[in-house]
Amino acid sequence: MLQLMRKHARNWLMKVILGIIILVFVFYFGSMRGRQITETVAEIDGSLIAYAEFQREYQNLLDFYRQQYDNNLTDDLLKKLNLKQQAFDRLINQAVILSKADELNLDISDDELKASILSYPAFQRNGIFDNNLYQRALRYQKLTPEDFEAIQGRMLKIEKLERLIKESAKVSEKEVRDIYNIQNRKINVSFIAIDTNSIKIKTEPSEEDLERYLEEYSEEFRMPQRAKIEYIIFKGESFARIADISDEEIEEYYDYHENEFEDNGKTKPLPEVKDRIVSRLRSIKGMDAAFKAAAKAHDTIYQEENFEEYAEKHGFEIKTSEFSRDVSPTGQLSGLQDLSEYVFGLEKGDLGRVFSDKNNHYVFKLVSLKPSYIPRLGEIAEKIKKSYVKSASIRLCKEKAERILDRLKTGTNMTKLSRDEGLKLSETGLFLPGPDIPKIGFSPDLKEALFKISAKRPFPDNVFFINGNYVVVKFKAEGKLNEREWETNKDPLKNYLLRLKEEQYFMSWLEGTKKNMADRKRLKILKKAEDL
């Protein structure tokens, strides 16, 4: 790698590599060099943080993520990354940490600074610091050695304070064992599943019952807004029949699309595939001619407002279609992407733009819009009744499951109770708790409850609705942990937990320090990130 760097230091690839090397430093601390006091975004202990610093920090972050994601850095991803807030928080955090480091008289000696630079692998050849490589990298980033060393000194000061805070974090073996048990504890649970369809209400709901139900759940029965359109179809195949195809076009298509005519790795000769090419070219030309005709018709109708007259004059059949806002059109219009969303942005009588699918083009106008409304009981009586009965069955099933759970909690034998109720008692067998529970189904809520039950506390607090059943569960048994695996995984897990706790301690200290400084007016936030 170093040989490559020495040999190609002047080419574009080398510049990119050196850029990445320096970016590691500038990414986190670049904003600390050279303050330009223009518009101030924050103030800490009398020192101002300028808008120019925010701009540099934001650009450093943007450059970093561009390096990381390359062409995959989409606008949507950038929005999720929220770089403005990231850049703003980093600026404030840097300033707060450095201020506290100065309060504690934490300094970085020349020897510490020198050692950190000399030991950085990017500035070494064959494991030895190379000053030429160091100077070249700095020149590329337009940094003087003094600038870079100042940045590195601040970084080391922040690292030193962060290290001191994190050293207070400790992890006991009991904590490690508890986490390991949670991660590896297999359990077996007994359960009763009650099918909601097995419980029916005993009396037919009255009209008053249904009216009350409709009023209570009116939004569930709201009829969506509906649109009615008229449209004319410009068929590609109609224009394809009259399209002229030259021999030159056939040969050109064949030359550029040879892979379409391969058979067992060999390209078929042109005479064998000529008819296919002609058919394909006619289709392409037909769709192109149909679109031009549709666009011309659209412009004429728009100017003269003569949709019906135009169709009659040119022999087009006017078709109609109705659909709601939340449901895509069916039938002839099913292939038109975004049509339903587009239509509901128009007003009655408006002419829409030309829409196309793989075979046709369409010119349409909006005939009417029916507003959303809640229907009367008489319009959907059967639907209301069906929903009412289903809802009542679910409610009765839940009440039954809760009664069973209450009886079990008071000491009733689960086997006897299930037999008396005519219900099947099952068990999962040993498994590692997760959202997909054996023989029961998928339930994140039950997964969380399973972590809390044990021989001493065998029942969750609730029953669970899973796959059309209300389920009552009881802890039955727990598998034994593999002690050999525990000994193997103990130290790595302890180190992992320690890193997590160190980070938690440091972030807690940082947030507390910021709040304390803000309360004492030492830290003043003058701008919000979203306003920058």
pLDDT in the model for residue 273: 86
Distance from the first to the final alpha carbon of the chain: 41
Q: Are strands 262-263 and 47-50 parallel, antiparallel or unpaired?
A: unpaired
Q: What's the DSSP call for residue 123?
A: G
**pLDDT over threshold 80, residue 472:** yes
User: Final residue of a domain: which of 338, 370, 402?
Assistant: 370
**pLDDT over threshold 50, residue 21:** no
Say if 526 falls within a structural domain: yes
pLDDT in the model for residue 77: 87
Say if 486 falls within a structural domain: no
Task: Provide the domain limits for residue 330.
Answer: 224-370
Say if 323 falls within a structural domain: yes
Average pLDDT over residues 193-210: 91
Structure confidence at residue 37 as a pLDDT band (50, 70, 90)? very low
For tokens 């196309």, the residue is 356
429 and 302 fall within a common domain:
no
Residue 478: in which H helix or E strand, if any? strand 469-478
CB-based contacts of 58, cutoff 8 Å, min separation 6: 83, 84, 87
18 and 162 fall within a common domain:
yes
Residue in 95, 114, 104 with CA at minimum distance from that of residue 53: 95
pLDDT in the model for residue 365: 95
Average pLDDT over residues 169-184: 91
Say if 490 falls within a structural domain: no
Average pLDDT over residues 228-237: 94
Distance CA 209, CA 327 (A): 31
pLDDT in the model for residue 17: 37
**pLDDT over threshold 90, residue 126:** no
Instruction: Quote the number of domains for the chain.
Output: 3
Say if 214 falls within a structural domain: no
Structure confidence at residue 20 as a pLDDT band (50, 70, 90)? very low
153 and 191 fall within a common domain:
no
93 and 150 fall within a common domain:
yes
Instruction: Name the percent of the chain in helix, strand, coil, to the closest 5.
Output: 55, 15, 25
Which of 129-133, 318-322, 392-396, 448-452 has the weakest average pLDDT? 129-133
Most confidently predicted of 194-208, 331-345, 414-428: 414-428
410 and 510 fall within a common domain:
no
Say if 126 falls within a structural domain: yes
- Give CA separation, 203 vs 96, 195, 200, 387, 389, in Å: 70, 20, 9, 15, 10
User: Final residue of a domain: which of 326, 352, 370?
Assistant: 370
354 and 387 fall within a common domain:
no
**453 or 5: which leads in pLDDT:** 453
- Cβ–Cβ < 8 Å for 215, 488: no
Q: Are strands 464-466 and 441-442 parallel, antiparallel or unpaired?
A: unpaired
Structure confidence at residue 23 as a pLDDT band (50, 70, 90)? very low
Residue in 310, 288, 278 with CA at minimum distance from that of residue 239: 288
352-406 residue pLDDT tens: 999 999 899 999 999 999 999 999 999 999 999 999 999 999 999 999 999 999 9
**pLDDT over threshold 90, residue 479:** yes
Distance CA 435, CA 279 (A): 54
